[in-house]
Amino acid sequence: MVTNPGRSRAAKVRLLGLELDNLTNQQALDALSAMWADRHSHQVNFVNAHCANVAQEDPDYLRILRSGSLCLADGSGVRLGARLLGQNVVENVNGTDLFPGLCQRLSESGGSLGLLGAKPGIAGKVADWVRERHPGVRVVFVCDGYFQAMDEPSALRAIATSDCDVLLVAMGVPAQEKWLDRHRQNLNVGAGIAVGGLFDFYSGSIPRAPLWLRRLGMEWTYRLYQEPRRLWRRYVLGNFVFIAHVLRQRRRKG
Ligand code: UDP
């Protein structure tokens, strides 16, 4: 049986049919480190308000989030939603902020990293970022998320034989989680982590919000400012829809 290093230990935040592992960033890194001791292809997902909304409409995505090894609470929306339900999220844990710590842990253990996702050329720039700042990490696989550098069957074969401890998959929600779920039995990695826009940030293609805005839990406003046409529905409408879902759950409980 596959053990679940994160799930077995953590307290849970229960929200809209999801069970989020209520961990600090350090605890999340500990749980991740425990995963690459084996080759069980643990799946790790992050859930923000948008993800929770998508999961209400997509039972397969909801199932995947519920069945992964680790499901982490990402963003101020989820924190607010939990608070409305009388629960406390201990820390915002998202892939982008976790990434330097993850590379540090991999470097300390001589671990290896695979990068799958984003437009052609972007994952290669993330590999350069890793090699420059964390030379102890072996980057063993790099491919874009449109399979232009290599076709999907070749990519799957290359991952399986690459001795990859951690595979980051950045193809957007919910495609990346579904891709991992579909293929993880054959990936032969320690952990597959769905990371959304992480490659765009570390490649320098999309600037991140200033730290003060992130500390206020308002990074989404900066993303909205950068891509209003694509993201207004997700953030403006989506935040209202999320809170409406949460209040409905609260009424049902009360
Ligand atoms: N992406 C990809 N393949 C696809 C669609 C998207 O690799 O078929 C990439 C896209 O280039 C971006 C990443 O997925 O780098 C995340 O996209 P988005 O910002 O929509 O992420 P989300 O916020 O939905 O997680």
User: pLDDT, tens digit, for every residue of 123-142?
Assistant: 999 999 999 999 999 999 99
Mean pLDDT estimate for the chain? 94
Residue bearing the CA closest to ligand 1, atom 14: 171
Average pLDDT over residues 84-90: 97
Report CA(5)–ligand 1 centroid distance (Å).
Answer: 28
Q: Return the closest-CA partner of residue 173 out of 76, 87, 53, 89.
A: 53
Report CA(126)–ligand 1 centroid distance (Å).
Answer: 15
Radius of gyration of the chain, Cα coordinates, nearest whole angstrom: 17
Q: Is the pLDDT of residue 153 over 50?
A: yes
**How would you classify the pairing of strands 112-117 and 42-47?**
unpaired
Going by pLDDT thresholds of 50, 70 and 90, the confidence category of residue 162 is very high
Atom of ligand 1 at shortest range from CA of 205: 15
Coil, helix or strand for 44?
Answer: strand
- pTM score > 0.85 for this model? yes
Residue 10 is predicted with a pLDDT of 54
Residue 5 is predicted with a pLDDT of 53
User: For residue 151, what is the DSSP state?
Assistant: -
Atom of ligand 1 at shortest range from CA of 146: 3
Going by pLDDT thresholds of 50, 70 and 90, the confidence category of residue 39 is confident
Atom of ligand 1 at shortest range from CA of 173: 24
For ligand 1, which residues put their CB under 6 angstroms from it?
A: 117-119, 145-146, 170-173, 175, 196-197, 199-200
Residue bearing the CA closest to ligand 1, atom 6: 171
Q: Is the pLDDT of residue 99 over 80?
A: yes
User: Residue 7 has which token pair?
Assistant: 């799930």
